[in-house]
Amino acid sequence: MPRASKDIINVKGFHLEFGEIDEYLKRKSYYGKRVSVDYDELRKWDLNLLSHFKPFYAPLCDLCCMCTYGKCDLLGKKGACGINLEKQQAREALSTAVIGASAHAAHARHLVDTLIEKKPTSELHYDSSIDIKTPISTTVTGVEPETPEDLDRIMTYIERELTNLMASVHTGQETEVTDFESKALHAGMLDTMALELAEIAQINQYGLPTGKADTHMLEIGMDVIDSTKPVILCIGHNIAPSAEIIDYAEDIGAEEEIEICGLCCTAMEMGRYSKSSKIVGPISRQLTFLRSGIPDVVVLDEQCIRSDVYEVCGEMGMVVIATSDKCSMGLEDMSEENPYRIINRILQEKIPGVLIKDEKKVAMVAVNLALQLTRGRDPETSDRFRVNCVRCSPCDSNCTPSRKPEKQEDLDLNSVLGYCELCGECNRVCPAMLPIMEAIDDAKNGDLRAIGTLYESCSGCGRCMEVCPVGVPILDIIRESRGETPERFLIRAGRGPVQDIEIRRVGAPIVFGDIPGVISLAGCSNYPSGERDVQIIAEEFLKRGYIVLAAGCAAMDIALTHDDEGKTLYEKYPGDFDRGGLLNLGPCVGNSHAIGSAIKIANIFARVPMKGNTVEIADYILNRIGVCVIGWGAMSQKAFAIVTGANRWGIPVVLGPHASKYRRLYLGESSPRVIRDKSDDSMVPSEPAPPHLTYAAESINECLVMASKMCIRPNDTPRGRMVKLSNYVDLHLKYYGDLPADIDLFVRNEREIPYKHKDDILEILRKKNWKPREPVKEPTIIR
């Protein structure tokens, strides 16, 4: 007789466990729900795009060092594997895009898994005025996620595709430039999906703003931090550790005794989560603030963390708590230990840093450790300033490389400056090409004005200090010489998505051109004069009636400048998605809302089907929605993926100010373009609009003029075209001093000529034998 139990049947030669059947059925059910997308259709769209916008490469070097065949010199010849320089550059573009998309996907995976763990059966929601919750993911996959499990299914698709794309980078795989670029565009689109999933996961878990235009104001700037209190600084992108720190401080009643602040996107997340948190600033403030000596405990999560942060914190006497296996820094993993034992070990054994992957323990350790480290500090002398010693030779083995003076006056500028030999090495390596040596020379003679003015232009990279042969702490001197005006500003908290009702209100004016365009500011802020440049770009378009969106470091940069009345742009302009609105979308993941708003316009206003309809939506955006992304700043792999994702959706990008280092552009022809008119299926001449898909601007002047031109679309009405050309002409005159020479390409009939300069423009048209033409009724590049 067979032996049987509730879960097992045993017959001679046969063994069956019902749990195996359950698991099989579960897997079958799961794979029945597996997300699948037609990549072949997306590839056809990419090749179509690339036929209009040719890849242009500017290699930083001519070598390939990716395998042991090499290194191979590809200048005018092939490498050992048969690859040439153009293919290698396309391969590097794909690799860069995949790295960036993987960073965002890993971040999204953590948030989605946490949401599944904590709220497995919850229903995903946004504000009641938002029906389309995930326009990007729904358009690509056809899935409208309702639960965390749906997010998991989409995440699995993203991860599967990224693995496939990374495999194509391997030696002996992909061989064609256009296919490398198609895959790079695919990686960029996956990046936009990961951003979107990370955002909806954290909004649903932490109750962040969901489309509210008038979010609360937050303080931002290095001087908003009260250094008389214990200071916890959070750096990175993941909200989880900082949210737990804020909650724990409130739970034990220590929120008034302690300062919890943030740098980079974590700071933006904290500001959305709690009105009491403070923002130090964007990534460009990281080294400067750490070297100020103000933080007591530095908590790291993931992304945009300086590689030397542990070393710098050690020099300044700060304790580091790493919280992610993506950024472990060689630290001892104490995740399983009792939090109070961790604190005791840090204090007694003088451990400078630990790894704790349990966010609740991170909160307990960070708050209590900060309170312990500062216990007994005299508040009268707690305006702390730590200075690295001037390196001497030979070095005393007992020398402590940093100290914590009791008073800020302990920084003797004269004695520190006296070590400077005016060798000029600082000038040579400064990426902003600042006149550091000359400013120090003035300071040595008692005039600190020149070196103080470098603060706003300094990108905070610290390369000047690295090359200084006598170890002068140049970054500290610049910071301390910046004058008496405190760095205190206001920024509107990140609002999250654009509401559907806002799209309905402005969809028509945007598509027809009455609102001249939507400008989305992205990018990293380690670049010269960064805050001022981004503020000028934003305000130039705001006062002309464009809608300006910003996320991540760019959103913070906009806030770091006052006008003559002492206001920031966030205080001057409303946060609505409407003419002249300035929207802080939130951290880097908020860039998904910029692309999502364009998709919503196509779906809500034009009724273009959305589910699984990526190509038609992207074609509509390219030809009818005047949106342009400006990536103004140093381009990390993540930023590369963000702008490449925008390109996949038909959104043009202007990069700068060091955009030649971007290495790959998508450039169009400066001549009439032939596109298809869907109304009668004819091929007709049209303006080159947008003129490029990715363009490098080497100055703010070039950026402003090109961005205005990037918003021109074949679908513009005569009135809309006149509005856009008015801005293009005015900006060209303001920043170049003359009328644009290519104006004839964009004027279809005399009704579109801006009144103010009509006579001069007509003269240009006459010289170029311009002929009027009819607008394309239903423009498309799909054949």
DSSP codes, 680-737: TTEEEEE--SSS-SEEE-SSHHHHHHHHHHHT--TT--HHHHHHHHHHHHHHHHHHHS
Least confident segment among 22-31, 61-70, 98-107: 22-31
* N residues, the chain: 783
d(C-alpha 389, C-alpha 416), whole Å: 9
Question: Is residue 530 predicted with pLDDT exceeding 80?
Answer: no
pLDDT recorded at residue 418: 82
Of residues 255 and 480, more confidence is placed in 255
- pLDDT band, very low/low/confident/very high, at 50 (cuts 50, 70, 90): very high
Question: Is residue 2 predicted with pLDDT exceeding 60?
Answer: no
d(C-alpha 134, C-alpha 589), whole Å: 13
d(C-alpha 620, C-alpha 602), whole Å: 7
Out of 4-13, 499-508, 634-643, the most confident range is 499-508
- 301-320 average pLDDT score: 92
Question: Is residue 75 predicted with pLDDT exceeding 50?
Answer: yes
pLDDT recorded at residue 121: 86
Give every CB contact of residue 237 below 8 A, 6+ residues apart in sequence: 107, 264, 265, 266, 269, 301, 302, 303, 304, 587, 588, 589
Question: Is residue 501 predicted with pLDDT exceeding 60?
Answer: yes
Indicate the average pLDDT of the chain: 89
Question: Is residue 230 predicted with pLDDT exceeding 80?
Answer: yes
Question: Is residue 370 predicted with pLDDT exceeding 80?
Answer: yes
- Residue 776 DSSP symbol: P
- pLDDT band, very low/low/confident/very high, at 398 (cuts 50, 70, 90): very low
pLDDT recorded at residue 412: 66
Task: Give how far the C-alpha of residue 256 lies from the chain's centroid of Cα atoms, to the nearest Å.
Answer: 32
Q: Which two tokens stand for residue 426?
A: 């600082």
Give every CB contact of residue 128 below 8 A, 6+ residues apart in sequence: none
In degrees, to the nearest 5, what angle opens at C-alpha 742 toward C-alphas 736 and 746?
120
- 195-218 average pLDDT score: 95
CB atoms within 10 A of CB 606: 15
pLDDT recorded at residue 7: 60
- 106-114 average pLDDT score: 96
* Residues in a beta bridge with 333: 355
CB 725 within 8 A of CB 752: yes
Least confident segment among 139-148, 412-421, 568-577, 630-639: 412-421
Taking phi over 0 as left and psi of -120 to 50 as alpha, with beta for the rest, 128 belongs to alpha
Q: Convert the pLDDT of each residue in 265-280 to its tens digit.
A: 999 999 999 998 899 9
Task: Give how far the C-alpha of residue 315 lies from the chain's centroid of Cα atoms, to the nearest Å.
Answer: 29
Least confident segment among 28-32, 171-175, 201-205, 692-696: 28-32
Give every CB contact of residue 474 below 8 A, 6+ residues apart in sequence: 426, 436, 440, 464, 465, 468
pLDDT recorded at residue 268: 93
* Residues in a beta bridge with 233: 261, 298
pLDDT recorded at residue 376: 54
DSSP codes, 255-275: TTT-EEEEETHHHHHHHHH-T
Question: Is residue 327 predicted with pLDDT exceeding 70?
Answer: yes
CB atoms within 10 A of CB 410: 12
Report which of 689, 577, 703 is spatially closest to residue 631, judged by C-alpha positions.
703
Report which of 525, 743, 523 is spatially closest to residue 654, judged by C-alpha positions.
523
CB 614 within 8 A of CB 571: no
152-191: burial string, b at 16+ Cβ within 10 Å, e else:
bbbbbbbbebbeebbebbebeebeebbbbbbbbbbbbbbb
d(C-alpha 394, C-alpha 400), whole Å: 14
d(C-alpha 563, C-alpha 467), whole Å: 37
Question: Distances from the Cα of 21 to the Cαs of 398, 415, 461, in angstroms?
Answer: 68, 78, 58
- 326-352 average pLDDT score: 93
Taking phi over 0 as left and psi of -120 to 50 as alpha, with beta for the rest, 293 belongs to left
Question: Is residue 485 predicted with pLDDT exceeding 80?
Answer: no
* Residues in a beta bridge with 387: 403
Q: Convert the pLDDT of each residue in 410-422 to its tens digit.
A: 456 677 888 888 9
CB 766 within 8 A of CB 701: no
Q: Which two tokens stand for residue 753?
A: 């000529």
CB 40 within 8 A of CB 182: no
- 400-415 average pLDDT score: 46
Q: Convert the pLDDT of each residue in 426-471 to its tens digit.
A: 999 998 789 999 999 998 888 888 888 888 888 888 899 999 998 8
Question: Is residue 713 predicted with pLDDT exceeding 90?
Answer: yes
CB 661 within 8 A of CB 644: no
Q: Which two tokens stand for residue 411?
A: 């920084």
* Residues in a beta bridge with 754: none
Out of 6-15, 368-377, 720-729, the most confident range is 720-729
- 502-530 average pLDDT score: 89
State the pTM of this model: 0.90
Question: Is residue 386 predicted with pLDDT exceeding 50?
Answer: no
pLDDT recorded at residue 658: 77
Helix or strand or coil: residue 611? coil
- pLDDT band, very low/low/confident/very high, at 13 (cuts 50, 70, 90): low
- 152-173 average pLDDT score: 96
